[in-house]
Amino acid sequence: MKTPKNVETHVWRGGIPLESRYTAGLGGQIFFQALKERGELVGTRCAACKQVYVPARAFCERCFAELTEEVKVSPEGTLVSFTFSAYDRDANRLAEPVALALVKLDGATTTMLHRLLRVTSPEQVRIGARVKVVLKPKAKRTGSILDIEGFQLA
Name the residue range of residue 55's domain: 25-153
Q: How many domains does one find in the chain?
A: 1
pLDDT < 70 regions, the chain: 1-10, 20-22
Burial class (CB in 10 A: 0-12, 13-18, 19+), 56: buried
The predicted pLDDT at position 4 comes to: 63
Residue 17 lies in a domain: no
Residue 97 lies in a domain: yes
Residue 148 lies in a domain: yes
The predicted pLDDT at position 141 comes to: 97
The predicted pLDDT at position 22 comes to: 65
Residue 110 lies in a domain: yes
The predicted pLDDT at position 119 comes to: 96
The predicted pLDDT at position 25 comes to: 82
Q: State pLDDT tens for residues 27-51.
A: 889 999 999 999 999 999 999 999 9
Residue 9 lies in a domain: no
Full-model pTM: 0.82
Residue 142 lies in a domain: yes
Q: Starting at the earlier edge strand, list the strands of the sheet with 52-53.
A: 52-53, 41-45, 69-73
